[in-house]
């Protein structure tokens, strides 16, 4: 087992109970990421680290490096390329986590609580046909088939940090478009203040639905202005391909400045409400998981510090722990959403 897996396992007991890593053997990132892309990225990061690149060159080079992401397909699933996004904050210049790590170290409790369970069990998930129902306080409620959602707006590649509340993180090239594109089409009423997201709960194909780990279906929620923020992604793919089932196929949410559990997978319903909606982890442990769940190194989880994190795929020595950034590094883009709020109370 590589060091990073061992140390994440040693240290973190998981959202619900004990360690969930079963410790299966796992190759190093450089063995998995296509060699050419990996070397290009490494050379690029070193170039930046030496300070040799001027700002404009860095911006150009990063776009080139990012664009490689779309072609760096692991080659298992249908291609889903996205154009490089121009949304502020949508192209993190950090080493991208190996596809192998991002697709085998997962939280998707419908398929089991062990990090390896979703990759092992999610093959039973049926993603065709698929649709999302739009309900509640909108002028245009109704059912959107996946085919129509895929056509609604051009696909973009967004390279985001993802910080799990458990203290590990990764950098993933997601593919999708701003959720705001869909929200504008369904025209929320003036009374709509929140958006709730419901995911599939099918006991026939999801072996842990029915277990008492969570109150199914998995639900999440955002304030309407958070849902409309351009960084909030309706996500259909990663690494230039459609999402693997364990990562929430065929469509999920990605909200990069919040803890990973806000990123509801395999969405089937989006509902616009006046009242703050219930969320799965808040119902399970309200003192541990608040509604907002913004990444905040200054507010500890009751059972562990949130000041630092481990990046998946990195050497797991203690010295390699990195500092967690306010709003996961997206402070410039999102801090204004919370102006005047007490982020300890509204955690």
Q: From the list 106, 196, 282, 324, which residue makes contact with ligand MTE (rule: CB under 6 A)?
A: 106
Strand intervals (E) in the chain: 83-84, 131-136, 142-145, 156-163, 168-178, 194-199, 219-223, 233-238, 241-242, 252-254, 267-273, 308-311, 322-323
Q: Is 143 helix (H, G, I), strand (E, B) or coil?
A: strand
Q: Report the alpha-carbon distance of residue 316 to residue 299 in Å, rounded.
A: 24
Q: What residues between 57 and 96 interact with ligand MTE by CB under 6 A?
A: none
Among 173, 260, 290, 329, binds ligand MTE (CB under 6 A): 260
Q: Which residues contact 334 (CB under 8 A, 6 or more apart)?
A: 229, 231, 257, 294, 327
Alpha-carbon span 250 to 99, nearest angstrom: 17
Least CB distance from residue 199 to ligand MTE, whole Å?
4
Q: Are 289 and 262 in contact (CB under 8 A)?
A: no
Which of 7, 68, 107, 279 lies at the binding interface for ligand MTE (CB under 6 A)?
107
**Least distance in angstroms from the C-beta of 107 to ligand MTE:** 4
Q: Given the complex with ligand MTE, which of 134 and 171 has the nearer CB atom?
A: 171
C-alpha distances in Å from residue 327, one per residue of 41, 295, 314: 25, 5, 22
Is beta strand 83-84 parallel, antiparallel or unpaired with respect to 156-163?
parallel
Cβ(231)–Cβ(336) under 8 Å?
no
Does 266 help bind ligand MTE (rule: CB under 6 A)? yes
User: Should residue 293 be labelled a site residue for ligand MTE when binding is judged by CB under 6 A?
Assistant: no
Among 8, 137, 138, 164, binds ligand MTE (CB under 6 A): 164
Residue whose CB is less far from ligand MTE, 160 or 194? 160
Site for ligand MTE in 200-259 (CB under 6 A): 218, 247-248
* Shorter beta-carbon distance to ligand MTE: residue 182 or 253: 253
Which range in 106-114, 139-147, 188-196, 292-300 contacts ligand MTE by CB under 6 A? 106-114
CA distance linking residue 313 with residue 102, whole number of Å:
9
Kindly tell me which of 130 and 218 has the beta carbon lying closer to ligand MTE: 218
Residue number with CB closer to ligand MTE (110 or 157):
110
Task: Return the number of the residue (44 or 236) whose C-beta is nearest ligand MTE.
Answer: 236
Q: What is the CA radius of gyration of the chain?
A: 19
Return residues touching ligand MTE (CB under 6 A).
106-110, 164, 199, 218, 247-248, 260-261, 263-266
């Amino acid at each position: 087992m590589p060091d990073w897996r061992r140390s994440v396992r040693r240290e973190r007991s998981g959202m619900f109970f004990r360690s969930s890593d079963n410790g299966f053997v796992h190759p190093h990132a450089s063995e998995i990421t296509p060699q050419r892309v990996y070397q290009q990225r490494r050379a690029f990061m070193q170039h930046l680290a030496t300070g040799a690149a001027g700002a404009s060159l860095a911006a150009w080079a990063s776009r080139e490096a990012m664009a490689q992401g779309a072609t760096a397909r692991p080659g298992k699933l249908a291609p889903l390329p996205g154009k490089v996004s121009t949304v502020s904050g949508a192209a993190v210049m950090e080493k991208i986590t190996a596809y192998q790590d991002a697709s085998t170290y997962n939280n998707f409790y419908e398929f089991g609580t062990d990090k390896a369970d979703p990759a092992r069990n999610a093959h039973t998930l049926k993603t065709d046909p698929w649709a999302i129902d739009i309900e509640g306080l909108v002028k245009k409620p109704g059912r959107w088939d996946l085919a129509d959602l895929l056509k609604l707006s051009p696909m973009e590649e967004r390279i985001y940090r993802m910080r799990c509340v458990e203290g590990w993180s990764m950098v993933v090239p997601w593919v999708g478009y701003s959720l705001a594109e869909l929200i504008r089409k369904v025209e929320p009423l003036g009374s709509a203040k929140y958006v709730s997201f419901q995911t599939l709960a099918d006991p026939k194909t999801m072996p842990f639905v029915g277990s008492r780990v969570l109150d199914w279906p998995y639900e999440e929620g955002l304030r309407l202005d958070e849902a409309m923020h351009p960084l909030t992604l309706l996500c259909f793919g990663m690494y230039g391909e459609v999402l693997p089932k364990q990562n929430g196929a065929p469509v999920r949410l990605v909200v990069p400045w919040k803890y990973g559990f806000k990123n509801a997978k395999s969405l089937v319903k989006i509902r616009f409400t006046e009242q703050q909606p219930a969320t799965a982890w808040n119902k399970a442990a309200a003192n541990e998981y608040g509604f907002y769940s913004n990444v905040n190194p200054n507010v500890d989880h009751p059972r562990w510090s949130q000041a630092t994190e481990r990046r998946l795929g990195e050497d797991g020595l203690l010295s390699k722990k990195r500092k967690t950034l306010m709003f996961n590094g997206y402070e410039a883009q999102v801090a204004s959403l919370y102006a005047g709020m007490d982020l300890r109370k509204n955690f």
